[in-house]
Amino acid sequence: MYKQKVIFVCTGNSARSQMAEGLLRHHAGERFEVFSAGLEPKGINPLSIKAMDEIGIDIRGHTSDSLKKYMGHHHFSHAFTVCSDADEKCPSVLWTNGKKYHWPFDDPAAATGSEEEQLAVFRRVRDEIDGKIRAWLTELGPNA
């Protein structure tokens, strides 16, 4: 079965795009080949892993990749920017043949306070991303 390719892009590829990749794989991995990338990859934030573990999704095997890794090598049916910085700076060639979406989410990696306070921000953003992905899948329908 042909799987459409989807990419989630943010600045650091450490939190939002990583969680989005894990969530879409979880909800519809049989339908989509899912990637994530960053303009300036920083490695996966440990709190991203922890927040996803809490809902039974393991993203430990993910890698924090540069968008350059995918440029010219993949055709993405759907490309999502999940932060305004990526939306402004992402090369438009990425989505010349597919659909481009901009879903801005707060950067949980910028959260301050105790680890528990920071984790609360990661959970909130994770749940917001999950809601957007579920709504998008519903809009697409089962045969898209």
Check 24, 49, 51, 90 and give the catalytic one: 90
Q: Say which of 7, 34, 83, 86 is annotated catalytic.
A: 83
Give the DSSP letter of residue 46: H
100 belongs to the catalytic site: no
Q: Would residue 141 be called left, alpha or beta, if left means φ above 0 and alpha means ψ between -120 and 50 degrees?
A: left
- For 46-115, strand residue ranges (E) read 78-81, 99-102
- Residue 74 falls in the annotated catalytic set: no
Residue type, 110: A
Catalytic residue list contains 90: yes
Q: Which of 6, 10, 51, 79 is catalytic?
A: 10
106-130: b (≥16 Cβ within 10 Å) or e: ebbbebeeeeeebbebbbebbeebb
Active site residues: 10, 83, 90
